[in-house]
Structure 1
């Protein structure tokens, strides 16, 4: 016997997923009132719809900033969508804020996705993994297999969209964006970002200056 779907159930599901009332009702009916199953089905449906929109041109959007407490870390991120209408929506603006905060929290992240990682960086990281001391005594095929797994993990650490969302750890940033694509009905892309850390690079410059002074004194 099918469970009767109440208005409260629909409201609860909608608040958890952001999906429309009709979609929530259908998902609950299909899951016989099971909220957890309905959420999973809506996510799958949303990701499927989002994937169809990924090739659509996104040239509108906004540049969002985030300054961490203490003003020692700052982030600028450009988030694109298809229309100015969606760029003005609170859900889109909140997404931009969340992504900027994520970048500030993930110091290892340097690129939006693996497509943005230069080949020379991939080759460099691969060489490091292949030549690690703990692999030196292993046969080449085993060493290559282990290094490939480690390289995949390392590249994942470098990419923003592969990170678990700090506010909802069970989904990645990629899944978070796709959920908003399904919710707002437009393609959304993280185009670029820049992280600013107070004093970053100054020590290196100071060391270079000291070396230059020492060289001048030595050669006098």
Structure 2
């Protein structure tokens, strides 16, 4: 029986197995879909589909930096922390990060659809599905970002991959001192979780919203105070908040006498350089994802009929 592209597509949609695996299964079973599904199941290649509904909220973040100019950051999730520490899983994430550093994809769907550089006969998605079958739990390439600069980009990984950061800067000098400075800034981003590089990035909409909240708080706390005093209180509180959410305004964690901006300026002057931090990217594993909470006692009680 002729194995058509439509038949291969149908089997892929049912099993989640790779295109070549589906074609081989159909060839071996003379085009019998049911027999091909059984063939893939016996070979462990149809496991991924069953696991796709499970929550993958653990995992790791990895970064790649090439020649100080190009960098990528990826988050790949697993169901358990045990698998996140697995050498096979970590090697796969390293390969995904390397792929991200080479990609031209604009979004995760395009990234998953492109050819897997370690084996051009399959897509990134198919490589992921195969890895799910091998490891035995749901995995997810959740997000990636690639950046390029004429200055310098550095990376920092915290907690074995729990948090990953890229920091970009415009600089006319790139040496070990500048790289170390930017690495320290990346550590600051990991620890202090700023939302913006500087106040220039903060939208008027955000400012107006925060003023509204602060005004309501101030009036509730100080109902007797006149409007002009409350206005000054709001300005003071807003400035305090901006110092917490804007990276360059934050107190530098390694030297509380300096802000991050002053620390960068200090290192720049020492190296006769002009350095401007322009962007940061911070990925934290499982950020915003629902995590499954196992209640072992309840599970045992349920099985015992208690």
- The TM-score with structure 1 as length reference comes to 0.60
* 1:165 aligned to which of 247, 252, 272: 252
Once residues 183 and 140 of structure 1 are traced to their aligned partners in structure 2, the CA distance between those partners, rounded to angstroms, is 47
Give yes or no for contact 2:242–2:249 (8 Å, CA) kept in 1.
no
Q: Structure 1's 78 and 135: CA in aligned 2 closer, same or farther, altered over 3 A?
A: same
Deviation at 1:137, TM superposition (A): 3.9
Aligned ranges for residues 68-107 of structure 1 at < 5 Å? 68-82=158-172, 86-87=173-174, 89-107=175-193
In structure 2, what is the equivalent of residue 23 of structure 1? Answer: none
Hey, which of these two has a bigger chunk of helix by percent? 1
The higher-RCO structure (CA 8 Å, 6+ apart) is 1
Residue pairs, 1:21-100, within 5 angstroms: 60-82=150-172, 86-87=173-174, 89-100=175-186
Q: Please list, as runs of the form range in 1=range in 2, the aligned pairs for 1:1-220 lying within 5 A after superposition.
A: 60-82=150-172, 86-87=173-174, 89-107=175-193, 109-132=194-217, 133-203=220-290
**TM-score relative to the length of structure 2:** 0.44
Deviation, 1:135, is: 3.4
Unmatched 5+ stretches in structure 2? 1-148, 293-306
C-alpha distance in structure 1 between counterparts of 2:256 and 2:198, whole Å: 19
Asked if the contact 2:243–2:249 (Cα under 8 Å) also holds between the matched residues in 1, the reply is yes
Name structure 1 gaps, 5 residues minimum.
1-58, 207-220
SS state at 1:78 partner: strand
Aligned length: 142
Deviations 1:128-165 (A, max 9, x none): 11111213442211111111111110111111111122
Residues 64-114 of structure 1: CA deviation (Å, up to 9, x unaligned): 1111124211111112202xxx21x1111101110100100102x111111
CA apart distance, 1:119: 0.9
Tell me if the contact between 2:178 and 2:268 (Cα under 8 Å) persists in the aligned partners. Answer: no
